Amino acid sequence: MHKRQLGTGGPEVSAIGVGCWSFAGAYGPTTEAESHDTLAAALDLGIDFLDTANVYGAGVSEKVIGSFIKDHPHKFTIATKAGIYRDPDTNVRSFNNSPEHLREALEKSLRNLGVDHVALYYIHRREAERPIEDVMETLVRFKQEGKIGGIGFSEIAPFSLRRAQAVHPVMAVQSEYSLWTRSPELGVIQACEELGVAFVPFSPLGRGMFADTLPDPQSFGDGDFRNGNPRFVEPNFSCNIKALDAFRAFCKGRGVSPATVAIAWVLEQGDHLVPIPGTRSRKHLEQLAAGESLKLTPDDLAEIAKCLPPGFAYGDRYSDAQWPGAERYC
């Protein structure tokens, strides 16, 4: 698999990474053995970039990765995150970017992973009241101490990225981006390219909408993120299924899976993009990896644009309860 660089002067990683939220059951129940098989498949396919977070299953995702890399050291470039806090008594979510919280979270993540250093450390959500310049100073200290290799932010606006970059180079920004969520095209992707920052799209498969088997909201478990998401409730969900008909027919005509085409399309949007699809299946990961070698012609891209124009999806990408913390802009 070809490599792409994480920011200016950052490490080279596989053009596709693995988003590891699913290791904690975000899209249905799973087991450590199933997750380990996915990680083994990643190595077989040349995928060496993993994305996790301290809140994914309250550390479960990190621990699953840690138990695997204990027997496979130095094989993966690992990114994790902090900044989201859940009250253990009320489960109410808030955001904390204080030096004390970030240090405590980082030390716990390193223990979960069984390492003394992570290549990339993201602020998962910004604490709006705290100046981003102050947060950067904390992260720079972590870097100087050798605990992190680079600094990242999740779901921030271009103006916040520019403020952070003025303090110290940012390695990566991640946001939801796919054929079904195009909002980063309104400034984040361009700002990242201008500043030499990697853009890391999460959910590049539209939270399962581009899988071979379409999701069934009736089968979503209690912990499934898509429960209550506006795009997965009626009447929006049925409209979204119908809206995909032409695209799925296009993929069938090309003899490739919708997932493969969706990944190929994301990679076409710039050399600084490194998508991190999530999966619990070796077979599915193979389909995703195939997207790295699928070359879409100008005619292909034009046909895809006709099938799925920007803004085609019915419903907002987050519910009111899911929105807090993600910076909106434009």
Active-site residue list: 56
Listed in order, strand segments (DSSP E) in the chain are: 3-5, 12-14, 18-19, 49-51, 77-82, 84-86, 93-95, 120-123, 151-154, 172-176, 198-202
State how far the Cα of 193 lies from the Cα of 26, in Å rounded to an integer.
31
| Inter-residue contact 260 to 248 (CB < 8 Å) | no
Tokens, residue 168: 């110290």
| Inter-residue contact 173 to 180 (CB < 8 Å) | no
Tokens, residue 294: 């699928």
**Residues paired with residue 44 on neighbouring β-strands, in sequence order:** none
Listed in order, strand segments (DSSP E) in 183-292 are: 198-202
Tokens, residue 128: 């709006």
State how far the Cα of 62 lies from the Cα of 77, in Å rounded to an integer.
13
